[in-house]
Amino acid sequence: MLASVEQLVMLLLSDATQIFSINRLRSTLRANIASVRLWLRWLERMHFCFRISPHPGRLERTLRHAPKFYLRDWSAIKDSQRRFENLVACALLRWCDFAADWQQRRLTLHYVRDKEKRQADFLLTLDKKPFLLVGTTIEESGRVGDLRYFSERLGRVPAVQVSSSRRSPGEENGVKLLPAPAFLAAIP
């Protein structure tokens, strides 16, 4: 069992920020599904990782069940884009925890992806209503079209593209483009 949990940790390290299929994990680890779910819950309770589920709203053709896992310590992720996305996920999760602890508001973190592979890395909902879409990129600007698409379908929810290489704020097609330091500093 310990070897399987170690293998699961290695899979989480290599596939962090990706959509996880529990069935694929079960097959890779050669374990039953209940064991894999138990091991994932243990790792979450030990604050090794956390999961973000897809937005449960009524958008057409979106994924509804497959979670994405993120690491609490993103420094072990080798791919720079995924490491940056994981860093932003941790900051947004901290914001959700802050809102729950101090403001008595229900701020939750989700992602949105449809079957055409359009994706918003993060969707914050406030009291179960879409509040803010966030995309991440290590380039000047990333998948702005995807953010705009989901913003329109969710009722003109504000959308922000956070970039690790951008030097100054901007806007493209109704999506705010922000440098990472400015965005991260604004999170309570």
Counts of helices then strands in the chain (DSSP H, E) = 6, 8
The predicted model scores a pTM of 0.91
pLDDT tens digits, one per residue of 73-93: 989 899 999 999 999 999 999
H helices of 46-123, in order, are 80-98
Q: Which of 150, 155, 172 is nearest to 163 (CA)?
A: 172
Q: Which of 152, 153, 145 is nearest to 161 (CA)?
A: 145
pLDDT tens digits, one per residue of 91-111: 999 999 998 888 777 899 999
Per-domain residue ranges of the chain: 48-186
Residue 118 tokens read as 């359009």
In three-state secondary structure terms, 175 is: strand
